[in-house]
Amino acid sequence: MGTMIRRIGVLTAGGDAPGLNAAVRAVTKAAILAHGWSVIGFEDGFEGLLTGRSCPLTLDSVRGLLPVGGTMLGTSNRTNPFWCAVPEFGDREPRDHTETLIRSLQRHEVDALIVIGGDGSLSIAYRLWQLGVPIVGIPKTIDNDVRGTEVTIGFDTAVAVATEAIDRLHTTAESHHRVMLVELMGRTAGWIALFAGLAGGADAILIPEIPYSLEAIVEVIGRRERAGRPFTIVAVAEGAQSREGQAVYEITGPQPYQRKYGGICRVLEEQLASRVRLAVRSMALAYLQRGGSPTARDRTLATTLGSAAVHAVSAGHFGQMVAVRGDPHGRAMTSVVTVPLAEAARGPRLVPADHPLLDAARRLGISMGESLD
């Protein structure tokens, strides 16, 4: 692959997130209008790149994508080119397909590749760059857990959906005098539960970073009932775990991210039912948090990062990820920078113990499920 850019490729990998289409649109328009490059999209993430499933991206093909959820390219979290089985190739067991991937890029005359993904997909991108593939990353995930950036595409929409759900549950919880457990996405990082729980006025918030005590939740419910407020809202990240290390998931593959979380609120419902006087109900928002039209903030973030990724390609900043950083002077505006993909590959970005939202929650009397000992 030469250094002269004539055609770039783009793919969306991992879980879907609101704003992916806006990012694809921005990459396509910036590449064509600012540089005169042609653009090719690979379907279903790295799977399409391996098998050659692709489509040309033009100004006409991305028209109207800005408010549309999902991704026109499709996505997949099943294919790691370093170790996967591809049925189209007759694989019965996983194997390394990186040579096939590089040949596919060469066959499609792709001079640089833009990968829109979360920490798992960007870790793959980092390893591909180490093999010599000219690559730039764009961080997306509703979980907001990519290292090196303060926010990812899809997070704002997921928080808005979760907040609205908690708002709606308040009325039925109060009317029926119930404890409502709301299960939100967040496997190892509790960003959605923390932001939506605080915005929605939850009485307790359980996140993976802070092991919870069942007794602490019982205390919150009892305290509210004694104060004449016989209902409680608990926002729970799907990866929340007890002090004993109990989390609820199903292992679906060899990779750390191949765990299907879900069901923690059903477990809590059963445990609390015999310990509190009020009726306990649980619900999981699940994929509702991923769907629908992106918020204005996610649209503008995706547009900004998509444009910045194309600029990074033009500047030869490969092995980098475009990212959002806070203004060092403390102004409201943030800046878009490039950071090494190695940063995103270091594992998920967790909620730090000194995060200001944790302090705010505790000052407002919101329990984080911490032990009463």
**Is 15 a known ligand-binding residue?**
yes
**Is 141 a known ligand-binding residue?**
yes
**Is 277 a known ligand-binding residue?**
no
Residues whose CB falls within 8 Å of the CB of residue 109, separated by 6 or more in sequence, listed in order: 6, 7
**Is 116 a known ligand-binding residue?**
no
Q: Which of 44, 143, 145, 156 is catalytic?
A: 143
Query: Does the annotation mark 143 as catalytic?
Result: yes
- CA 70/CA 290 separation, integer angstroms: 8
Residues 16, 121 contacting (CB under 8 angstroms) = no
**Is 186 a known ligand-binding residue?**
yes
Residues whose CB falls within 8 Å of the CB of residue 170, separated by 6 or more in sequence, listed in order: 200, 201, 233
**Is 274 a known ligand-binding residue?**
no
- CA 40/CA 108 separation, integer angstroms: 8
**Is 304 a known ligand-binding residue?**
no
**Is 281 a known ligand-binding residue?**
yes
Strands 334-340 and 320-326: antiparallel
Residues 259, 250 contacting (CB under 8 angstroms) = yes
**Is 79 a known ligand-binding residue?**
yes
Residues whose CB falls within 8 Å of the CB of residue 100, separated by 6 or more in sequence, listed in order: 50, 81, 89
Residues 11, 27 contacting (CB under 8 angstroms) = no
**Is 209 a known ligand-binding residue?**
no
Q: What three-state secondary structure class fits 364? A: coil
Residues 232, 174 contacting (CB under 8 angstroms) = no
- CA 139/CA 17 separation, integer angstroms: 11
**Is 168 a known ligand-binding residue?**
no
**Is 299 a known ligand-binding residue?**
no
**Is 118 a known ligand-binding residue?**
yes
- CA 81/CA 276 separation, integer angstroms: 50
**Is 288 a known ligand-binding residue?**
yes
Residues 146, 152 contacting (CB under 8 angstroms) = yes
**Is 60 a known ligand-binding residue?**
no
**Is 187 a known ligand-binding residue?**
yes
Of 183, 208, 187, residue with least CA distance to 196: 183
**Is 145 a known ligand-binding residue?**
no
Of 142, 163, 175, residue with least CA distance to 281: 175
Q: Point out which residues pair with 41 in neighbouring strands.
A: 10, 55
* Residue in the structure block whose two tokens are 């929605």: 200
- CA 143/CA 172 separation, integer angstroms: 27
**Is 98 a known ligand-binding residue?**
no
- CA 16/CA 218 separation, integer angstroms: 36
Binding-site residue set for ATP: 15, 78-79, 118-121
Residues of each annotated binding site for Mg(2+): 119
Binding residues for substrate: 141-143, 178, 185-187, 238, 281, 287-290
Catalytic residues: 143
Annotated binding site: 15, 78-79, 118-121, 141-143, 178, 185-187, 238, 281, 287-290
